[in-house]
Each structure stands twice: as structure tokens, then as C-alpha cells.
Chain A
Amino acid sequence: MQVERMEPERLRAVIVSAQAGDSSAYRELLDTYGRRLYGYFLRATGSHHDAEDLLGEVMLRLVSRLDKYDDRGRFEPWLFRIAANMVRDRIRRAKANPAPASLSIDSEAGASRADQLLANTGPVADGLLAEEASGHLQRALTKLDDTTRDMILVRHFGQMSYKEIADLFQCPLGTALARVHRGLKALRRMMGRNYESD
């Protein structure tokens, strides 16, 4: 994955500008991290609509909370920590009220969230094979437990270290890696040939 990043000096300057209320600074942050955030939300919820909603929401939280950001920490883990908490809240609500937005339970029409994702993704530039692999992966992701799925996703999209993942999920470092390892193996097994072909 090609990761959009800012140079540390530039990022610091952008954050200072954003903290002063400069809208162009926020636009720059969104241009840099928006695609990864959207990808994380889409894979975590399996819903284009939810991902779109969460992307807007995380940016609004950024606007309201950026003045509390401590520059001594790393910005990306801080940002994805907010995003991960939002996803957890969304999943919790979806489980409490499964009909409209369940990740793992089929909808009333009989279509899983993964099928809905396929129906919602629109034009896919990378072709049918990529779309098929994407759909297979989404279905496989929904079969993982919430924590393991989220660990894999914040590792990929948030570029978090395992230490940061362990902190975020409040578990020992070895446990975090063990879960990711088992989750990746399970995904490979579920994806089968489609996974290998990519």
C-alpha cells in the first residue's frame, strides 16, 4: 500500500496552523490521511455509507480536539486511536440494534454486509479480479472477532506499531501480535485461492 505521509516538520507546522483555526491546514490533513481513514472505516464497518459518515465525523472531532493534541506524541496513532474508538462505538451500537447496520448478521433482504459493500463500491478501477478479491476479503473480515479485525486494520491503515496497538487495545504486546498472527492466518485460510492469486 502506498502510504500518504507528511514530513515530520511539515506535519508539525500544519498541526500548529490547524490549531490556530486555519481551514487550509485541515484540508491538508484530510488530503494526507483521508484516504487511509476512509479505507479503515470501510473495511471495519463494511458499509460505504458508514465509512463516509465516519470520515466526516472523525474530521469534526479533529477540529474540536486538535487543540488538546500533544506534539510530543505521534499524530497518526493519535488520529487512528480516535478513529478506532469511533468504529468500536459504531459496532457496539450496530450490535445493540442489529437490523439496520450489522457487520456479521445478514440483513433482512438476506444480503450480508460484505455483499452490500460490493453493491455499494461503485466503479472499480482495478478491474473485476480486484473487486472479487476485495469482496472475498470483506466477507472474511466479517468472520473475525471485532478486536482481531480492528487490530489488523489499524496496523494496515494506521501504520501503527505493535506497541501502539497493544496500548490501544489495552493488552500485552505479545498478545497483540499473537492475535494479529492468528487473524492473518485465518484470513489466508478463508480467502484461499483468491488471496494467493493477488
Chain B
Amino acid sequence: MNLTEQQYERVARYLDGQDLALSPDEQAVRDEIVGDEGLLAPALAVPAEESQACIRQAKVLVEIGIRENALGGILDVDVPTEAMDRAWRRTQAALAKPQRRLLGIAAAAASIAAAAVLLVMTMISEQPRRPTTANNVAAAPKPAPPSRSAMADAYLASVWAARDPVMNFLAAEIDQLEADVVASAPPAPVDIGLDQAEMAVEEFWLDDAILE
């Protein structure tokens, strides 16, 4: 037999000791529960010997627990404020350590990156420039920048010129005179022979390439 929630509640109150008038259905359930509990009790009983052994063991544990509690009370101390402050400062320091390490790593990484950028820029500036238009079409070649040796020569020349303008004037005059002599003179027989030999060699290699 099953009851409603309210009926069960009334039976529970009755079994808990309240003086209630139960309906026949409620009385039947009450009797059933009381009977089942009575029947169950002997089967639930635990052998005394078995429980006694455990109780003896639990007594030892209780003794230990009581002593631990007492010891805990003795061991407890008031913590000085200074000690707490110091502990907190150490905690803060320990918390800050990782941040400092990160900053160091970041600074090192930034230095390496800057060095790499400088290196790349230097390498780019060392390479001959290849001018392009916006459509990546090769533009007209521009004069190459002066090499280091040329710059050094120019520097030395400027130094030299600054030191001895007279010598510079004489050297220029000599250069001009040499140029005039070379341009006005007829070709020598040796030079003509050399030119003919060069042309013969070129024709020989040209014919050989065509035959292959």
C-alpha cells in the first residue's frame, strides 16, 4: 500500500512521537514499517566480538587524538607582526622575481634584434643597388657609387692637391701633352701587326664554332 506525500508525513510524525489520529491506510503503513523494522533488527546485528575488537582499536586512536589536540594547543604560538611583515616582503620578492627575469629576457631579445637589423642594413648597403621602376622593370643604369678604393684615392688626391697645387698643375699639363701626342701620332707598324693578329685569332675561333 502506498500513501500520498502528506499521508506519509503524518505517519512519520506519528512514529516520531506526535499524537495523531491516523486513517486506516496510514495505520496499515505504520504497522508495516514497524513490523519490517522489527524483523530487520536481528539480521542487522553485528557480532559483539567483532565490534569489541574494533572498539579497542578505536580507543587507542582516541588517546592519540586527545594527545595530538593537547600538543597542538601547546605548539600554537602568537605570530609576531614583524615576522608576518618579513614573510610578506619575502613573498612579494618571490612574486616579483619572475617579472624581473622576464624584463631581462626582453631586453636581451631587443638587443639581439637591433643588432640583426643593423647587420642586415649594412649588408644591404654593401650590395650594388639594382634600380627598378614601380613596375619592376629595369631602369636605365645609373653610375655605380664609388668604391672604397676610389673614395680613398679621391681623398688622397684631395689631400695631395691641398698640399701642393703647383705639382698638381704640372701633372695635369703632362697628362694633356701625352694625350695630344698619342692622338696626333700615326700608328706604328708593330701596332698594325698586333691588330691583324688579333683579328685572325678571332676569325679562327669563330669558324671553329660554326663548324661544330
Confirm or deny: B144 has a beta carbon within 8 angstroms of a beta carbon on chain A: no
User: What size tier do the contact residues of chain B reach?
Assistant: 35 or more
Q: Max chain A CB contacts within 10 Å: which of B17, B52, B59?
A: B59
- Check B69–A174 contact: CB distance below 8 A: no
- Check B8–A161 contact: CB distance below 8 A: no
Q: How far is the CB of A65 from chain B (nearest CB, A)?
A: 11
Number of A-B contacts (CB under 8 A): 159
Q: Which of A5-13, A71-79, A90-98, A122-130 contacts B (4 or more CB under 8 A)?
A: A122-130
Q: How far is the CB of A154 from chain B (nearest CB, A)?
A: 12
- Check A173–B42 contact: CB distance below 8 A: no
Alpha-carbon gap, A161 to B16, bound state (A): 6
Q: Give the chain B neighbours of A27 by CB distance below 8 A.
A: 59, 62
Alpha-carbon gap, A191 to B6, bound state (A): 30
- With contacts A1-B41, A63-B65, A155-B37 known, is A125 near B8, CB below 8 A? no
- Check B51–A38 contact: CB distance below 8 A: yes
Can you report 14 A-B residue pairs in the complex whose CB atoms are below 8 A from each other? A1-B41, A34-B58, A35-B46, A35-B52, A38-B50, A39-B44, A43-B46, A52-B54, A122-B49, A125-B47, A125-B49, A137-B40, A174-B12, A196-B39
Spell out B's residues near A (CB within 8 Å).
2-9, 11-13, 15-17, 29, 32-33, 36-37, 39-52, 54-55, 57-59, 61-63, 65-66, 69-70
